[in-house]
Amino acid sequence: MKVLIVNTMAPFVWGGTEELATHLQKNLVIAGHEAEVLRIPFQWEPAQRLPSQMLMVRAFELSNVDHVIALKFPAYLIRHPRKTLWLLYQYCQAYDLFDAGQTNLLNSYLGADIRTLIKNADNESFAESRNIFTNSEVTSKRLKKYNGYDATVLIPPINDPELFIGGENNRGGYIFAGGRVNEMKRQYLLLEAISKTTKEVRLIIAGPSDSPEDAEKLRKAVRRLGLEDRVKLDLRFLPRQTYAEYVNHSSAVAYLPFDEDSLGYVAMEAAIAGKALITTTDSGGVLGLVKHNETGWVAQPDIFSLANAMNEICCDMQRTKIYGLSAKELLLSFDISWPKTVEVLLQ
């Protein structure tokens, strides 16, 4: 089958959604289909431009395509008789962010009209779709609450599970915190916490920082707390192999984003490697994978609660290992894989 993945783009920006589209394309080809990605430029500022951007997508004509998989607003407005949505993103500023006051839709008749337009266009697109899936509970709930549509969650699979083979903590034992470094991911909380643990606990924080300030904040905290011999910072974009080795050789993985939409790649990669997880009560979707005292520790988002969990990891390595195996078992029970995902998206 000729499958066209339809996505939006901000020209010159490449991020997680682009990666996801590329991996979806690759896995459609593996499953024996022809697959290509159409990336439609999208400009949402100023908000008065939104209607023309929506019309733009709506007016495009597709030929020589058997099946469309559309991912984001407004790309999913594209017309095709056989269109399935894997909804990663609605225009949240017209929905939940509007309610929270974080919106570029002016508090005026025009803003209200644009909001109505977005909602109506969305509803029309959802109605004409063959199937709707989302990437997370949060996206599904938003869709249900504002548009009244039910959608099954289809969690994006790990792109290279074969790298996360697990292994022994033969590098002296450390807790690993990977992924992007920024305020929302709260790596600094781990630094504050480790200063309150026993001296045996060690920590590696590795990944690209969103800004130089984010990196500097961590470096300063290490110096201030005198953690140089117990904490390693490797703040850069890591080759996948390097990243996977950090995971594979760790004792456990800590991941405490604030209110994440989905399970999170970082948590899924740790679980597939059989590593116990530390997260916090307000980490959102990650809690789907971290069950307290089963697959890891769900701490309060405070220094002492986290320090306590970090101590427990190191004082009973046997238990930590068992939690890690349970995390892997739980993730496998979700049956998230590319072959299955591709099959479902083509139904």
Partner 1 sequence: MKIALCSTFVPFIYGGGRNIVEWLQSMLEQEGHHVERIYLPQVDTPDLLFRQMASYRWIDVSSADRIICFRPQSHLIDHPHKVLWFIHHLRFFYDLWETPYRSFPDDAKHRGIRDALYAADTAALLEAKKIFTNSRVVSSRLKAFNMIDSEVLYPPVFQPERFYSRGYNNEIVYICRMEHHKRQHLLVKAMQYSQTPVCLRLSGLSGDLRYLNSLQHLISDLDLKKRVILDHRWISEEEKVEYLADCLAAVYLPFDEDSYGYPSVEAGHASKPLLTTTDSGGVLELVSNGVNGYITEPDPKALAEAMDKLYMDRQNTRAMGKNALARLSDLNISWSHVLKRLLA
- Least spacing, CB of residue 263 vs partner 1, in Å: 31
Residues in touch with partner 1 (CB under 8 A): 2, 4, 9-12, 34, 36, 38-41, 43, 49, 52-53, 55-57, 59-65
**Rounded CA separation 91/76 (Å):** 11
Q: Which is nearer to partner 1, 69 or 143 (CB)?
A: 69
Q: How far is the CB of 23 from partner 1 (least distance, A)?
A: 19
Minimum distance from residue 19 beta carbon to partner 1 (Å): 16
In a 13 Å sphere around the CA of 63, the CA atoms on its Cβ side amount to 0
Report how far apart the first and last C-alpha atoms of the chain are (Å, whole number).
12
Nearest residue to 279 (alpha-carbon basis) of 189, 205, 197, 207: 189
How near is the Cβ of 5 to partner 1 at its closest, in Å?
A: 10
Q: What's at 8, amino acid-wise?
A: T
What does 246-266 look like in DSSP terms, one character per residue? HHHT-SEEE---SSBSSS-HH
CB of 102 to partner 1, least distance (A): 23
Adjacent-strand bridge partners of 170 = none
Q: How far is the CB of 17 from partner 1 (least distance, A)?
A: 15
Instruction: List, in sequence order, every residue forming a beta bridge with 233; answer none if it has no partner.
Output: 205
Q: How far apart are CA 76 and CA 85, in angstroms?
A: 7
On the 0-12 / 13-18 / 19+ scale of CB atoms within 10 A, 116 is exposed
Instruction: Supply the minimum distance, in Å, between the C-beta of residue 129 and partner 1.
Output: 19
- Return the number of the residue (39 or 321) whose C-beta is nearest partner 1: 39
Using the minimum distance from each CB to partner 1, give the nearer residue, 43 or 198: 43
Alpha helices of the chain — where are they, by DSSP H?
16-30, 50-59, 96-99, 109-128, 137-147, 187-194, 212-225, 240-248, 265-272, 303-315, 317-333, 338-345
Contact in structure between 330 and 295 (CB atoms under 8 Å): yes
